[in-house]
Structure 1
């Protein structure tokens, strides 16, 4: 009994240290991101706001809350690699984990993960968002309505869409790793393909405004990257069953 309580105490102390470390790193990232939040707002306004549209703020604290939200998002995304590193390091110390991880493959996977995220974020920021925002603006202008956006809603939507598409473009890499280590079976993905399509469309409806075009601009890339993932998995095979 005493031995068990000592083990629990060691785990709690270790967990407390890791949480304190994560909080400290996140706080530093948050403060750094907050310093650049104004530049991010100005850049998004210059790049995405249609000519003739106006941004307004509707409450005294709106700009401050917007900067904090941007810093929160950026800080959390910058913290993800460090969080994954700690998680993998902790799992590798457990005897029940049999997956061997080498530095070479980890570096390659990290490189392609970063490349995929940048590709997705670039697609959202330079292709999807300008088309979508201009479409809505022209729609409003054709109805004789003056476009006036809340700065909090406009910038928040732009930042969220950019980060979400960065994650969407990670789909091929994630599914390839899951099937490679037999965490998910290729046959299971093929069997429930239609169900997964429906889930993608629901996701597109949830994270976008109630507009068919915007929903399709999220759902279609998800479907395309899912099919690309299946093709990659089929070519490469899965680790254990291939052997």
Structure 2
């Protein structure tokens, strides 16, 4: 009994230290991001706001809250590698998973993860968002409506869409790793393919504004990248990364 209580105490102390470290890292990332939030806002405004449209703020604290939201998103995103590191380290230490992890493959996976995110974010920011926002603007203009956007809603949507598509482009890499280490079976993904389609569309509806176009612009790429992941997994094979 005493030994069990000692183990619990050690786990709690270790968890407390890790949480304190993660919070400290997040606080630093948040503060740094907050300093550049104004630059991010002005850049998005110059790049994505259609000519003739206007941005307005509807509450005194809207700009401050927008900067805090941007800093929160950027801080949480930059914190993800630290969370992943501690999670994998804990699983291996507690022997909850048995994986043979080497520095070489980790570096390669990290490179492709970063590359996938940058490609996805670039696709959203430079291709999808300009087309989508211009379409909505022209549609409103054709109806005789003057486009006046809330700066909080407009910038928040652009930032969220950019980060979300960056993560969506990680899907093939994530599923490939999960199947190669036998954490998820390829047959399971194929069997529940239709269910995953529904989940993708639900995710698209939850994380986008309440209109069918934006929902489909997130949900459909999720489905496409899921199918691309299945092709990649089938070509590369499953279970080859598991420790023998």
The two structures have a TM-score, normalised by structure 1, of 0.96
Q: Describe the shift of the 1:240–1:149 C-alpha distance in structure 2 as closer, same or farther (beyond 3 A).
A: same
The runs of 4+ residues in structure 1 deviating greater than 6 Å are: none
1:215 corresponds to 2:194: no
Q: Report how far residue 224 of structure 1 moved.
A: 1.5
**1:82-123 residue CA offsets vs partner (Å, 9 max, x unmatched):** 111111122221234211111111111100000000111011
1:193 Cα offset (Å)? 1.3
SS at structure 2 position matched to 1:239: coil
Residues 1:183 and 2:179 aligned together:
no
Contact 2:171 2:226 in 1 (8 A): yes
Judged with a 3 Å threshold, the aligned counterparts in structure 2 of structure 1 residues 85 and 141 are, in CA distance, closer, same or farther, namely same
The total of aligned residue pairs comes to 243
1:89-168 → structure 2 map (5 Å cutoff): 89-168=89-168
SS in 2 for 1:55: strand
Alpha-carbon offset, residue 240 of structure 1: 5.4
Q: Check if 1:57 corresponds to 2:52.
A: no
| Structure 2, gaps ≥5 residues long | none
Is 1:26 matched with 2:26? yes
How high is the TM-score relative to the length of structure 2? Answer: 0.95
2:74 equivalent in structure 1: 74
CA 1:235–1:218 in 2, change beyond 3 Å: closer, same or farther? same
Q: Distance in 1 between matches of 2:42 and 2:96?
A: 50
Give me the CA root mean square deviation: 1.6
How much has 1:39 moved relative to structure 2?
0.2
Deviation per residue, 1:46-96 (Å, 9 max, x gap): 000000000000111110000000000000000101111111122221234
Deviations 1:139-188 (A, max 9, x none): 11111111100000000010001000011000000100111111111111
* Cα pair 2:180 2:241 within 8 Å, conserved: no
Return the offset for 1:7: 1.4
1:225 is matched with 225
Q: How far does residue 124 in structure 1 lie from its aligned partner after superposition?
A: 0.6
2:55 match: secondary structure: strand
